[in-house]
Each structure stands twice: as C-alpha cells, then as structure tokens.
Amino acid sequence: MTKKWTRYRKRTFYAFIGPWAIGFVLLTAAPMVYGFLVSLTNFDGSSSRWKWVGFSNYAELFGDGEAWTALLRTLGLTALLVPLSVAGSLGLAVIINRRLRAVGLWRTVFFLPSVVPVVAMAIMWKLVFNKDAGIVNAILGVASIKPIAWLVDPTAFYALVVLMLWGVGGGMVIMLAALQGVPIELEEAAVVDGANKWTVFRNVTLPMISPVVFFAVITGVIGVLQVFIQPLLLTNAAGTAGIGQVPTSNRLYMVQVYQEFFLNNRFGYGSAMLWVFFVIILGLTIVLLRSSRSWVYYEVDTEAEGAAQ
Amino acid sequence: MTTITREPLTETVRPERPSAPRRRKRPRVGTYVLILALTVFFIGPFLWLLLAALKTPQEWSSLPISILPKVPQWDNFVHAVSDMNFVGYAGNSLFLATMYSILITFSSAAVGFGFARLRAPGKGALFLILLSTMMIPQILTLLPTYVLFSQLGLVNTYWPWVFWGLASSPYMVFLFRQFFSSIPRELEDAAIIDGAGWGRIFFRIFLPLSRPVLITAFILSFTFSWGDYIAPSLFLDLDHTTLSVAITVWYQDPHNNVIPTVQAAAAVLYVIPVLLIFLFAQRYFVRSSVGSGIKG
C-alpha cells in the first residue's frame, strides 16, 4: 500500500465526522459542563434568583443518608441483576444452540420481550403482579396462599428484578453468535481427550467467548446503574407523578436524583448527585476494564485493526 | 491437535459459520419441559395483558380471579382510541420516530464512512472519544440537557429530536464503520480514477452497498424512539407528547384511578407496531445486537 498518496483531502474527513463532533460538544460535553455549573448553585429550575453556593451541594450529599442508601441499593441491584442476566442469557443461548425442533420459534419467543417498550412492559407486569387480579396471586391462590401485594414494600424489589430479567433474550442473541463462533474442532478435541460436557463448556467454550461475556457485564453494569423509569412506572400513579410513590425498596439512586429535580425542585443538588454518580460509574468501569485482563481471553487478531485504517 | 482440515490453511480467518451441521445429540424431553416453562414466562405477560384488555373492569377486579373474560370486551379498544386523542399521540410518536430515525441513520452513516475510509490528524484520538462516549450513561447527559434546553426555550418543541438525530449515535457510527471498513479499496480506487469525488463515492457507492446496515440502523432507532419514555416525558407537555407517555397518564376514572382494562387495550395497540416490526425484521435486530458484541 502506498503511504504518501492520499485519496481525499484532510478537511473531507472533518466534514464527514463533523455531525458527530459538533453533536458531542453541544449535546454531551456542554450539558455535562453546564450540569457541573448548576451543581455549584441553588438553582430551582425556574426562578432567576439563584446564587453560587460553591461545593456545599457536594458537602450536603456527602452527609445525605438517603442518597447513600439509594446508592447501596442500586449497587445491590446491579450485583444481583448483572450476574443473573449474563448467566440467563448464556443459558438461553446454550439451549437454543442445541439441535431443537422449531428452534426459530423458540429463539423468537425468548428474544421478543427484549424489544417491548418499557411503558408496555411496566403495564403488563403491573397486571401480572396485581394484588387482587394478577395471575401470580391467582396461581398462588390455587395452592391456597393468601394474595401478596407484590408492588409495595418489601416485595416490589423482586417484581423489579423479574421485570428486568424478562428482557434477557436481547443478550441471548449476542451469546448465541459467540457460541457459534467457537470452532467446533476445539470442543471435539477436548471430547476426544476424555472431557465431559461440563468440562468442555467450562474450559473450552467459556474462555473462547469470554470477550463477549465481558462486554455483556460492562453494558449490563452501566445499564442497571441508571435504572429508574421502571420503578417509577410500576407505581400506581399516572406517569412521572409516581416519583414520590416509589416504594422504599425500589428507591434507586436515579429515582432519588429524579425526585430532587422534579419533586423538590433542587436542580443544583440533583446536578451534584449526577456528577458524583458519573464519577462512581467511571470508577467502576475502570475497575472492570482492569479486571478483564485476568479473565478475558483475546485471540490474537489485532492486525485486523491495522488493516482497517 | 486433531483438526479435520477442510482446505489448505492459507487463511488465518476463522470460518464464518459453525462448521456444517453440528454433530450433537438431539436434546431429551427435559430440555423441552424447560423450554415450555421459559415460554410461559416470556409469553405469559403478553397473554395476561391481552386478557385484561378484553375484560370488563368489574370482571378484572372481582374475586376469585377469572382467567378468561365471559364476553370479550372489544369495547375497551374503542375507549382506548376515543377516551384520549390516541390518533394524535400516535401521530406524534410516528412523526418523531420517523424524523429522528432518518436523520440519525444518515448522519451515522456519514460519520462511520469518515472513520472507516478517510484520514486526518487526530482521527485515532477522536475515535477513542467516540468509543468512550458509548460508556456514558445517557441519563447523565439527558437531565442537564433538559435544564439547558428549558433555558433556551427548546422544551415543548421537537427540535431536541432534530439535534439528537443530526448528532449521530456512537453505537451506529461503530456499526457503519465496521461495515465500510470491509469494502475493498479497489472499488474506491476505480471510482477515483473515473474522476469521482468523495460525494459521489459516498452517495453512489458506499451508501447503496450499506443497505442492510441502513435498514438495521433505521429499525433500531425507530423502535427506540417509539418506545422511549424518558425524553418525551421530560421535554414535551401533554399536548405535544408521544403515545408512550400518553397511555400512562390518560384513561382515568372520575376518582383519578387508572382504568386497567382500557389502559391494557391501549398498551396492546401501542406494542403491536413494535411486535410487527420485530417479527418481520428479526434478523436486523439480531444483526444490531451481535454487531455490538463481537468486535470491540
């Protein structure tokens, strides 16, 4: 490949990526800087009589027990939901990867819920978990178990977990592609060497697909940390008016932020909460990326990157 | 190693498909029992929603719980459409989703082309920034954007969706970039020798070739926008908002309680377009999920 000769002028590149670059500056960077500035004020969202308060919002947040509890709850949900959904999507993929009859139908069935809009999802699960008329209590009633009010404390948390796991089929598709990318020769060689099914899966298949598992963990963590609309929509209130009615067991960090913004009109304090959360998420991501070196196996194909230049 | 060599191993590339039909035993009955249980879990809520949409409010709330409605109440669907301006809200949803998807598909294609085929100083660093923005949780920028836009008077307009569309999506840029990178250079060189500029090359060669990615990006952004709740609930009031917000707010009885049966009917009407798109275009959804995972 000739190096010096170029096909296009440099400014053509900048013109093509311009929409993204401008968008990044105006719609990502600027709001974040603006949010930081707001976090240094006592702005209430509308009145013009706000003033700079320095870092006092951050100082207050540091001593805000409710915010810390909500943060711990969010981390707990993440620690529960991410392993469950990664294992769940991998499990579904393993099932679909077998020589089933009507495999296309089952794949569709498992995959379908993941594309259902969150509003419809919440309405469905509210009906399923309804205390008096829900199917869950109807089934439990057959075993003469008294109706359970699922959507209030303390069980609301589990209803949320079930709702979130319902969309696990989206991850299944990624895992399935990864499983089908594992060269069958490797697995066969292990079988010839006398390994049983589980050993093959644990020591051959899993390491081969570990980059995809890692990707699922990272996106899963970032996804679960920002959950807040599901707890909101699972309340009985109409629309975002439910913010004050979210049961304690579902008061996640972002629910708390949303409440500071739109119930308490504390835009400054809410913005400070957002920035602290951003730093926490960034830290978690870095820790995960570092940890990946010890358990993610990458095949040597870095030259593919160079060829794409 | 005991590999069965199909062809001389001249390429380092792995075979794209799993090598021929996999030699595995057919699963036993236990697997099908498990699949049946999973099907109940995944399909059950849809059925319960549909059944609720066909009951009278009394039937819905009376004990003991009846599974099937005595007489299917198709009237609930009539109420769902007439108790609020359903058609108007659906129109808002459709308009926003279509406009947003067209914009974001083409802007992402252009940016993806830039990163795949063009060169300039700073490209590496810019691409790194693009990749890391994928890691920023959307909600963190959305709330400050709301505050900023409300100061600029952009709330209750559809301008935010125009801006988001024009700004492209890092994830879709990545999809396009992967695709464009795989197109042979000879094609481009031939066009340059024929005197074509970048405009012709992009619009006449690369865009038509990327049809599957264009469709993927469009379908993905369309279903995202149709299903999005957070942005319309933040940026739009009840007169301008979309179906996703409207069905959570309307359908109340005189005591301000939501009527579950009518809301269920509305939810059925609201998800049908998404389900249809999904059933007819499932492979594009698969492509979009898979494209994100494999090469990082």
My answer on whether B41 and B179 are in the same domain is: no
Q: Please report the pLDDT score of residue B295 as a whole number.
A: 40
Q: How far apart are CA A147 and CA A145, in angstroms?
A: 6
Contact criterion met (CB < 8 Å) for A13 and B173: no
My answer on whether B242 and B166 are in the same domain is: yes
Tell me: the pLDDT tens digits for B123-142?
A: 889 999 998 888 888 888 99
Least Cα separation, residue B172 to chain A (angstroms): 11
Mutate to test the interface with B, among A22, A121, A123 (most CBs of B within 10 A): A123
Q: How far apart are CA B101 and CA B111, in angstroms?
A: 15
Q: Please report the pLDDT score of residue B264 as a whole number.
A: 92
pLDDT mean across residues, chain B: 84
Angle at B140 between CA B107 and CA B158, to 5 degrees: 50
> Given the structure tokens 């279509």, which residue do they identify?
B98
Place B5 in a pLDDT band, splitting at 50, 70 and 90: very low
Q: Please report the pLDDT score of residue A141 as a whole number.
A: 84
Q: In sequence order, what are the residues at sequence separation of 6 or more whose Cβ sits closer than 8 angstroms to the Cβ of residue A258?
A: A228, A232, A240, A243, A270
Selecting from B44, B61, B278 the residue whose C-beta is nearest the C-beta of A115 gives: B278
My answer on whether B196 and B262 are in the same domain is: yes
Mutate to test the interface with B, among A1, A6, A20 (most CBs of B within 10 A): A20
Mutate to test the interface with A, among B42, B142, B244, B268 (most CBs of A within 10 A): B42
- Cβ atoms of B269 and B246 within 8 Å: the answer is no
Task: Spell out which residues of chain B touch residue A108, defining contact as CB-CB under 8 Å.
Answer: 279, 282
pLDDT mean across residues, chain A: 86
My answer on whether B119 and B241 are in the same domain is: yes
My answer on whether B126 and B52 are in the same domain is: no
Q: Which residue has the higher pLDDT, B230 or A236?
A: B230
What is the H or E stretch that residue A3 is in?
none
Instruction: Mark A48-77 as b/e (b = at least 16 C-beta within 10 Å).
Output: eeeeebeeebbeebeebeebeebbebbbeb
Instruction: Mark B72-83 as b/e (b = at least 16 C-beta within 10 Å).
Output: ebeebbebbbeb
Phi, psi torsion values for A232, nearest 5 degrees: -65, -45
Q: Please report the pLDDT score of residue B24 as a whole number.
A: 56
**Total domains, chain B:** 2
Question: Which tokens hold the place of A258?
Answer: 């949303």
Tell me: the pLDDT tens digits for A261-309?
A: 888 889 999 999 999 999 999 999 999 988 888 888 876 554 444 444 3
Selecting from A13, A32, A215 the residue whose C-beta is nearest the C-beta of B120 gives: A13
Task: Spell out which residues of chain B touch residue A181, defining contact as CB-CB under 8 Å.
Answer: 14, 18, 294
- Cβ atoms of A247 and A25 within 8 Å: the answer is no
Q: Which domain holds residue B68?
A: 29-73
Q: How far apart are CA A55 and CA A272, in angstroms?
A: 9
Q: What is the DSSP string of A137-205?
A: HHHHHHTTPPP--TTSTTTHHHHHHHHHHTTTHHHHHHHHHHHHHS-HHHHHHHHHTT--HHHHIIIII
Phi, psi torsion values for B71, nearest 5 degrees: -125, 125
In order of start, what are the domains of chain A with their CATH numbers? 60-307 (1.10.3720.10)
Q: How far apart are CA B212 and CA B205, in angstroms?
A: 14
Q: Please report the pLDDT score of residue B20 as a whole number.
A: 45
My answer on whether B91 and B42 are in the same domain is: no
Q: Is residue B201 part of a domain?
A: yes
Q: Please report the pLDDT score of residue A8 as a whole number.
A: 66
Least Cα separation, residue B91 to chain A (angstroms): 17
Q: Is residue B17 part of a domain?
A: no
Domain final residue pick, B48, B73, B98: B73
Contact criterion met (CB < 8 Å) for A16 and B42: no
Q: Is residue B24 part of a domain?
A: no
ipTM of the complex: 0.85
Q: Is residue B13 part of a domain?
A: no
Q: Is residue B15 part of a domain?
A: no
Q: Please report the pLDDT score of residue A87 as a whole number.
A: 95
- Average pLDDT, stretch A59-64? 90
Contact criterion met (CB < 8 Å) for A115 and B140: no
My answer on whether B69 and B91 are in the same domain is: no
My answer on whether B211 and B283 are in the same domain is: yes
Which residue is closest to A241 within chain B, CA to CA? B249
My answer on whether B61 and B162 are in the same domain is: no
My answer on whether B152 and B59 are in the same domain is: no
Contact criterion met (CB < 8 Å) for B166 and A8: no
Task: Spell out which residues of chain B touch residue A180, defining contact as CB-CB under 8 Å.
Answer: 17-18
Least confident of A167-171, A205-209, A244-248: A244-248
My answer on whether B59 and B90 are in the same domain is: no
Place A122 in a pLDDT band, splitting at 50, 70 and 90: very high
Q: Is residue B243 part of a domain?
A: yes
